[in-house]
Amino acid sequence: MVTHIVMWKLKEQDKEQNKLKLQKVLLDLNDYISEIKSISVDFNLKQAPQDNYDVILTLVVDSWEDLEIYANHPEHVKIFDFVRSVVTSRVAIDY
CA angle 36, 30, 27 (to 5 degrees): 120
Question: pLDDT confidence of 67, banded at 50, 70, 90?
Answer: very high
Give the pLDDT mean for 40-63.
97
**Alpha-carbon distances, residue 52 vs 22, 43, 77 (angstroms):** 17, 10, 26
Phi, psi of 32, rounded to the nearest 5 degrees: -115, -25
Q: Express each pLDDT in 29-48 by its tens digit.
A: 999 999 999 999 999 999 99
Give the pLDDT mean for 57-83.
97
* pLDDT value, residue 43: 98
Count Cα atoms within 13 angstroms, Cβ side, for 76: 13
* pLDDT value, residue 24: 98
Q: Express each pLDDT in 81-95 by its tens digit.
A: 999 999 999 999 999
